[in-house]
Amino acid sequence: MASESRPVIVVGSGLAGLVAATTALRCNAKAVVLLERAAKPGGNSIKASSGINGAPTRFQNQAHIDTTFFSDTIKSAGKRIPPSPPEHIRRKELIKLLTNNSLSAVDFLSDDIGVDLSVVAQLGGHSVARTHRGAGKTPPGADIVTRLLRALQDDSRFQLRTGCEVTRLLSSTQSPRFDDPPGIVGVEVRSGDELTYLSGPVIFATGGFAGDADGLLAKYRPDLAGIPSTNEARPGMHSLLADVGAQLVDMDSVQVHPTGFVDPLSQASPLKFLAAEMLRGEGGILLHNGRRFVNELGTREQALSGSGTYKYS
Ligand SMILES: Cc1cc2nc3c(=O)[nH]c(=O)nc-3n(C[C@H](O)[C@H](O)[C@H](O)COP(=O)(O)OP(=O)(O)OC[C@H]3O[C@@H](n4cnc5c(N)ncnc54)[C@H](O)[C@@H]3O)c2cc1C
């Protein structure tokens, strides 16, 4: 196969891209090139501060084995699971895949990568405590990213290129090579003023578009256009996928985190610092005019629609 001598190209250095690069190396890839548009790796993943959900893990309360991750997630998904097949079944299968593999994800991070995930909290929409973080001061996202990256950089087959933005996915019909397999065969990369081309199998892990407040967010959720965000204020890259025929789904499914810190010196700043969900998981309550007005551990949908609000007579 022509692709055997080419590097695996991973686009995006958040948690998804770092794990993809790690997995490719573990599967004996000869070389992995990780392309990141920002000057530093880590994406939004490096900011994650509450933790990672998993069940049933050895860090959870052993007296009550957690069997509710699947049903809690179905409940949180709400109307995103349509009532009739085949999509009803497919979505449930995806949720099963996510929740059934969550234990091995936590084990991989703690046992293989050395991330401390020993502290467990109950957060929004959960029946029991299942959000894992470390006991120290380093937030889980930063710890996960730093350790994954360190392990990758110890491998001579791995190369990280920052300041490199993928601007196009190249399909085999655009490739001059006669032995290219059908499908995506490489990427166009912009670094400064220079455009270069790299060929190889591509893993696209460029994250979401919540920081693209006046672009994709405004397009798919006009009601949220321009909303302040804790995400990096950079354009979403979904059009690169659509350009090569990918169908985008659920683009209107954007969850809004209900709490953030407002800098008194810069109240109108669109870039906010998250008041992490963990604060509510550890007992923080929300007050309005001195009164509690919402179930702090309801789902995001409840928090925004007000259906989880307390009723006062
Ligand atoms: C403040 C904050 C706190 C959070 N806390 C939690 C939490 O506690 N628990 C939790 O589960 N989730 C949390 N989240 C959400 C979580 O961080 C994201 O779901 C997760 O980071 C997504 O990972 P990712 O690898 O898909 O994307 P990202 O981490 O965003 O990485 C995508 C990377 O791709 C790069 N990229 C994009 N386009 C290109 C291109 N064309 N070429 C090259 N590179 C490109 C980006 O620069 C970025 O580095 C939080 C999010 C924020 C913002």
Half-sphere exposure of 163 (CA within 13 A, CB side): 5
- pLDDT band of 41, cuts 50, 70, 90: very high
* Whether residue 69 sits in one domain with residue 38: no
Query: Does 87 reside within a domain?
Result: yes
Looking at the fold, whether 56 and 178 belong to one and the same domain comes out as no
Q: Residue range 294-305: average pLDDT? A: 78
| Residue 280 a catalytic site member | yes
Tell whether 27 and 68 lie within a shared domain.
no
Number of domains in the chain: 2
Q: How far is CA 249 from CA 157, 203, 216, in A?
A: 35, 19, 13
| Confidence bin at 312 (pLDDT 50/70/90) | very low
User: Is the pLDDT at 3 greater than 60, yes or no?
Assistant: no
Burial (0-12, 13-18, 19+ Cβ within 10 Å), 299:
buried
CATH code of 167's domain: 3.50.50.60
Q: What confidence score (pLDDT) does residue 311 get? A: 42
Atom of ligand 1 nearest to the CA of 274: 1
Q: Is the pLDDT of residue 59 over 50?
A: yes
Domain boundary residue, one of 204, 222, 251:
204
Which residues form ligand 1's pocket by a CB distance below 6 Å? 11-17, 35-38, 43-45, 47-52, 141, 165-166, 205-207, 230-231, 237, 274
Q: Which domain holds residue 70?
A: 50-138
Residue 307, pLDDT above cutoff 80 = no
Quick check: is 217 in a domain?
no
pLDDT of residue 310: 45
Please check whether residue 113 lies inside any domain of the structure: yes
Active-site residue identified among 130, 280, 292, 300: 280
Given a cut of 60, is residue 313 above it in pLDDT? Answer: no
Same domain, 57 and 197: no
Same-domain pairing of 73 and 122: yes
Inside any domain, residue 235: no
Residue 155 falls inside a structural domain = yes
Q: Measuring from atom 49 of ligand 1, which residue has the nearest CA?
A: 43
Q: At 179, is the pLDDT very low, low, confident or very high (cuts 50, 70, 90)?
A: low
129-146 tens-digit pLDDT? 999 999 999 999 999 999
Highest mean pLDDT pick, 3-7, 75-79, 110-114: 110-114
* DSSP string over 238-279: HHHHHHTTPPP--TT-----S-EE--TTSTT-SB-EE--HHH
Task: State the pLDDT confidence band at 238, using cuts at 50, 70 and 90.
Answer: very high
> Which pLDDT score, from 0 to 100, does residue 86 have?
95
SS3 state of residue 113: coil
Between strands 194-199 and 184-191, the pairing is antiparallel
